[in-house]
Structures are given as structure tokens and as C-alpha cells.
């Protein structure tokens, strides 16, 4: 997300903040304004298999690099939400703990990412109807654990996470494969 300084006040006035603090309807309403004000933006993803193979931090960094590579030009400054810098990035960067609440550029990026994730989950709910993704959005609810116990993991599940998750059925758990 490359957000010019001129975008900060208008997006702030529209109520842009941490995506987790916004309703789905509010996030959806903010997307066109964010896209209009952004000088550039891109999304990067890491697969469940990459997370299993490399761990969540490296997979997250790979996704961030993928997004940065899709931008039309390299940003002057990359602000990373959290305490750890983006390894492998040679440009200027800063870290900001609770950045999605404190920095509108991070908040805007989090809204776009959350909306993209929600759209992906909606599509996956159609592809994997027995899992109830339309209701729990892939989070580890009792309903999701019960579906995993009944149907097993899909190729989209992080097996490294499921190995630690005790499922609803007594004595049932998934081991990392």
C-alpha cells in the first residue's frame, strides 16, 4: 500500500482504522475510497503448504515481498506492523507495534487484505461446503473443529497448526504430515 499524505485526512474522516475494529459492511464501504486514494497497492499471499514448510514468519515475509514486487515502483519507506523488520528488504523500513491502529497506511492495507481474504473464504465455502466456512470464516471454532473431525483437512488447512489442535471427537487429532 502506497498511501500519499494527502489521503490521510480524507480516509481518517471516513473512519478508517484497524480492520479488526470495523464491521464487514464498513470495510467493504471503505475499499473504493482506499483504492481511489492509494498511489499503488498490491496483495501477496502465502499458501498453507508454504506456512507448513517454512513457518508463519517466513511465509508472511514471502507474502509481503510478493506484494511489494507487484507494485509499479519500490516505495520510499516500508512500514511493517509489529516489532520485527521485513528480512530481505534492502530499502528503508520501520516497524510499528499495533501499526494497524496507529498508521492509516497499515490500516488501509489491512482493510484491503481482510476484504480479499473474506472474498477468498466465500469462494472456498462453495468449493468445500461441509466445513461451514461461510459461518466461521476459517477460524478455529467448535464448528470448524467438528467439520475437520468429520471430513479431515483440505489442501488449504495448515497441517502444522492442526497437529497441535485437538479436535472435537475424543482422541482425534491431526499430525503434521
- Asked whether the predicted pLDDT for residue 167 surpasses 60, the reply is no
The pLDDT, as a whole number, for residue 145 is: 86
Report d(CA 49, CA 136) in Å as an integer. 21
Q: How confident is the model at residue 165 (pLDDT cuts 50, 70, 90)?
A: low
Residue 159 phi, psi dihedral angles, 5° rounding: -65, -30
Which residues contact residue 66 at a Cβ distance below 8 angstroms, ignoring those fewer than 6 apart? 44, 45, 46
Q: pLDDT digits over 92-114, tens only?
A: 999 999 999 999 999 999 999 99
Q: How confident is the model at residue 164 (pLDDT cuts 50, 70, 90)?
A: low
Residues of the chain with CATH 3.30.420.10: 5-127
Q: pLDDT digits over 106-140, tens only?
A: 999 999 999 999 999 999 999 999 999 999 988 88
Q: For the domain 5-127, what is the CATH code?
A: 3.30.420.10
pTM of the model: 0.88
Which residues contact residue 110 at a Cβ distance below 8 angstroms, ignoring those fewer than 6 apart? 18, 19, 20, 81, 100
Report d(CA 124, CA 130) in Å as an integer. 11
Residue whose cell numbers read 514486487: 69
The pLDDT, as a whole number, for residue 168 is: 41
Report d(CA 17, CA 104) in Å as an integer. 7
Amino acid at each position: 500500500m502506497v498511501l500519499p499524505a494527502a489521503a490521510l485526512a480524507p480516509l481518517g474522516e471516513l473512519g478508517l482504522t484497524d480492520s479488526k475494529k470495523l464491521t464487514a459492511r464498513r470495510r467493504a464501504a471503505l475499499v473504493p475510497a482506499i483504492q481511489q486514494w492509494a498511489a499503488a497497492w498490491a496483495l501477496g499471499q502465502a499458501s498453507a503448504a508454504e506456512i507448513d514448510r517454512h513457518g508463519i514468519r517466513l511465509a508472511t515475509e514471502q507474502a509481503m515481498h510478493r506484494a511489494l514486487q507487484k507494485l509499479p515502483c519500490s516505495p520510499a519507506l516500508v512500514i511493517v506492523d509489529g516489532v520485527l523488520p521485513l528480512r530481505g528488504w534492502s530499502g528503508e523500513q520501520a516497524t510499528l507495534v499495533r501499526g494497524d491502529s496507529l498508521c492509516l497506511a497499515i490500516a488501509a492495507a489491512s482493510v484491503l487484505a481482510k476484504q480479499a481474504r473474506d472474498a477468498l473464504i466465500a469462494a472456498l465455502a462453495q468449493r468445500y461446503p461441509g466445513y461451514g466456512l461461510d459461518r466461521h470464516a476459517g477460524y478455529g471454532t467448535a464448528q470448524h473443529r467438528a467439520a475437520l473431525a468429520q471430513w479431515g483437512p483440505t489442501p488449504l488447512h495448515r497441517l502444522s497448526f492442526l497437529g497441535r489442535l485437538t479436535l472435537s471427537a475424543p482422541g482425534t487429532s491431526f499430525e503434521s504430515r
